[in-house]
């Protein structure tokens, strides 16, 4: 019985550590998002973080096509991709994991 309890505590602690690390990384990624897209020239887009094939995915949704175009022309898409890429190893492909869109597209 004692060994079983130690195994459960070990597994629970490992799960908790992984959960905390994921939430901390997500917090930092959202902070990077705000640094790049909180802009007085257009309304800030929404960020949705999901998962696909073991990788996080990011969907950035602008409220208007004009805001989307402005951000793209000013290099904010590439800037965000490069910042997010820093959180992962070399196998992470930001071109496949980060999507930019606008409402109604």
Q: Kindly report, residue by residue over 22-44, the tens digit of the pLDDT.
A: 999 999 999 999 999 997 788 89
- Both structure tokens of 43: 């309304």
pTM for the model: 0.84
Residues in the chain: 105
The pLDDT score that the predictor gives to residue 1 is: 74
- Both structure tokens of 85: 């890429």
The pLDDT score that the predictor gives to residue 52 is: 87
What are the sequence ranges of the domains in the chain? 2-102
CATH number belonging to domain 2-102? 3.30.300
Tens of pLDDT, residue by residue over 50-102, are 988 888 999 999 999 999 999 999 999 999 999 999 999 999 999 999 999 99
Residue 82: closest CA among 20, 43, 35, 21: 35
């Amino acid at each position: 019985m004692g060994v079983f309890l130690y195994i459960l505590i070990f597994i629970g602690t490992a799960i908790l550590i992984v959960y905390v690390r994921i939430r901390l990384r997500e917090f930092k990624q959202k902070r990077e998002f705000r640094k790049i897209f909180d802009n007085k020239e257009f309304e800030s887009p929404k960020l949705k973080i999901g998962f696909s094939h073991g990788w996080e995915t990011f969907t950035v949704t602008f409220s208007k096509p004009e805001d989307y175009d402005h951000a793209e022309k000013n290099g904010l898409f590439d800037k965000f991709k490069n910042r997010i890429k820093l959180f992962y190893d070399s196998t992470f492909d930001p071109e496949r994991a980060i999507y930019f869109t606008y409402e109604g597209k």
